[in-house]
Structure 1
Amino acid sequence: MINENAIGLFDSGIGGTSIWKEIHLLLPNENTIYLADSKNAPYGFKSKEEIIDLSYKNTEVLLNYDCKLIVVACNTATTNAIKELRAKYDVPFIGIEPAIKPAANLSKTDIIGILATKGTLTSELFHEKLLSYPNVKIIEQIGHGLVQLIENGAIDSVEMTELLESYLNPMIEQNIDYLVLGCSHYPYLIPQIKKILPSHIKIIDSGEAVAKQTRNVLNQYNLLNTGNKKSSHFFYTNTNPDVLKEILKDTKNIIQKDF
């Protein structure tokens, strides 16, 4: 079956493009539409009700483009709103959650770190997941200020380095051997993080797992695009598109639009 309708993705800004890249790598035939809700970033310090309302808004924009599946490419939106989204809309949803399971299963020290937003770490869904790993010590750290710096194009700034050192050094001292990145913005910080972490500490994010789950659900609902046309990709942002253009250097269809 040739289903050319796009996969829709949304995030509280540019971070979810790290998820988009993994999906495009695994499913190059699929058309995509991405919403960067940078005007409302970060979601991590908003109330659950605000996050749900923003998730409804983004979903309805994507449904107006006839998206066949929606990826909530934001940990905070997933952990606070995925249940409500699935209850309200008929379209399949893929969520993104911190990759605690592989880190917990692979850890030799049984001590792992997680760097995430306040909205993710304080969510009910996140705390439900933690109950599955009673024998693993999980050191949680809110990444205050990281999303804002990424959204402002300051990934390689001195301020970013100082913040990351203040968050990661206490984890290193507590003998973590895995660091879970619990925000879709944070994979863009991996080069910076690797300069701080000792080489034996492994970094895990959710991008590849989300891409595989997207493929599985498209298969399950018979929604895969099996056509041979070159795929199309549109990226919409409701603020200045310059940072998005920097992150997606070879992409043409980056459009500033209010939503």
Structure 2
Amino acid sequence: MSNKNPIGLFDSGVGGTSIWKEVHTLLPNESTLYLADSKNAPYGQKSQEEIIELSKKNTEFLLNQNCKMIIVACNTATTNAIKTLRETYDIPFIGIEPAIKPAALQSKNNCIGILATKGTLNSELFHQNVALYSDVKIVEQIGYGLVQLIESGNMYSEEMTQLLHDYLNPMIEQNIDYLVLGCTHYPYLIPQIKKILPSHIKIIDSGEAVARQTKHILEVNNLFNTSHKKAENIFYINSEPEVMQELIGPNYKVNYKDF
């Protein structure tokens, strides 16, 4: 495995680009290869068996591109499939889990909210993490429809505004003081969420923590890119590329690839 090889990332769609941005900011010398399985989004409504099969397919695509490590930039895929991926493939994997710990430890009201997909909230790994904080009230909310609206380019639609009000207002009424975003698509909604939440409620997502963990795993495995060749950042998507292009900006090209 060459240190010059890229870091692979995959998600059910464009949401994991929020993770990619944090990784790229912290590790600008590392090449990356991002895979968006938008054709099969959202993963959150699928069975665990389907999520595992899709995650294996994505992993094998990235391995065929010589990725040196893989970030599962999807909460649903992490909570349902990462154990199987680690048992199946001999490569470092980094997963994304809802940031329950910092929210639970810092909450003054002992009440936090979690907005996530059905697949994440129903997973065994999520329930194990929640059980560690039995003294904290955790208000769970499935974000039905949010991923689909982001993937279809309707992030700022009236429907999105209405859904966010429907999901967040009951949490506000229950006196949460932290909101955990448990899906990598949701950080793109932070500007809209802030308009709804009272200013004292803090929003937490996993992006920075994942970037720091990626740096740590590169260090432990002696995988830092030490060459002086300019880093490359390549993006693949198997559905409409326009939405991803808008999210990552004009400096990077999104490649359509049917897989």
TM range (shorter): over 0.9
Deviation of 1:42 (Å): 0.1
Task: Give the structure 2 partner of residue 134 of structure 1.
Answer: 134
Distance 1:99 1:105 in 2: 11
Retained in 1: the 8 A contact 2:245–2:253?
no
Deviation of 1:204 (Å): 0.1
Retained in 2: the 8 A contact 1:245–1:251?
no
Task: Give the structure 2 partner of residue 215 of structure 1.
Answer: 215
CA deviation map 1:68-100 (0-9, x unaligned) = 000000000000000000000001000000000
Uncovered stretches (5+) of structure 1, i.e. residues with no partner: none
**Given the alignment of the two structures, is residue 239 of structure 1 paired with residue 239 of structure 2, yes or no?**
yes
For this pair of structures, how many residues does the alignment match? 259
Distance 2:204 2:103 in 1: 7
Distance 2:111 2:246 in 1: 36
Distance 1:14 1:199 in 2: 28
Distance 1:211 1:252 in 2: 20
Deviation of 1:253 (Å): 2.5
Instruction: Between 244-253 and 145-154, report the one with greater CA deviation.
Output: 244-253
SS at 1:231's partner residue? Answer: coil
Task: Give the structure 2 partner of residue 42 of structure 1.
Answer: 42
Task: Give the structure 2 partner of residue 16 of structure 1.
Answer: 16
Distance 2:250 2:224 in 1: 25
Task: Give the structure 2 partner of residue 75 of structure 1.
Answer: 75
Distance 2:186 2:192 in 1: 10
Deviation of 1:147 (Å): 0.1
Task: Give the structure 2 partner of residue 203 of structure 1.
Answer: 203
Distance 1:229 1:18 in 2: 25
Please list, as runs of the form range in 1=range in 2, the aligned pairs for 1:172-211 lying within 5 A after superposition: 172-211=172-211
TM-score (norm: length of structure 1): 0.99
Instruction: Between 246-255 and 83-92, report the one with greater CA deviation.
Output: 246-255
Retained in 1: the 8 A contact 2:114–2:182?
yes
SS at 2:35's partner residue? Answer: strand
Deviation of 1:3 (Å): 1.4
Distance 1:32 1:144 in 2: 30
Task: Give the structure 1 partner of residue 157 of structure 2.
Answer: 157
Distance 2:49 2:191 in 1: 34
TM-score (norm: length of structure 2): 0.99
Retained in 1: the 8 A contact 2:100–2:180?
yes
Runs of 4+ more than 4 Å apart: none
Uncovered stretches (5+) of structure 2, i.e. residues with no partner: none
What letter is aligned with 2:55? S
Retained in 2: the 8 A contact 1:48–1:80?
yes
Deviation of 1:226 (Å): 1.9
**Aligned-residue CA RMSD in angstroms?**
1.0
Deviation of 1:252 (Å): 2.9
Distance 2:162 2:253 in 1: 35
SS at 2:255's partner residue? Answer: strand
Distance 2:234 2:258 in 1: 15
Distance 1:162 1:202 in 2: 21
Percent sequence identity is 71
